[in-house]
Amino acid sequence: MRCSARARRKRADRSVALFLALGTMFGALAAAAAYLISYHEYRQQMLRPDQNAAKMAIEVAVITLLFFVVASVVLGYALTTGAAR
């Protein structure tokens, strides 16, 4: 039995929303781990006086979070459109 285009679209939207929620949750965990690891490594290195280890570690954490969220949305969209065909 075939689903209507509207039903497929609604299922795809729910699936992408699920991937977004999972990506945000795991991205936050990954960002926290990236912050802790990079902060520890930056503190061990001999930094110049104008470099702030906490600020540099926050930048790494934000990039990690963004990567996980964007990757999960792209993956969710790719999997739902591939399954709909």
Query: Which pLDDT score is estimated for 62?
Result: 98
Please count the structural domains in the chain.
1
The rounded distance, in Å, linking the Cα atoms of 43 and 27 is 24
What range defines the domain where residue 60 resides? 17-84
**What parts of the chain have a pLDDT lower than 70?**
1-3, 5, 7-8, 83-85
Query: Which pLDDT score is estimated for 79?
Result: 86
Query: Which pLDDT score is estimated for 84?
Result: 55
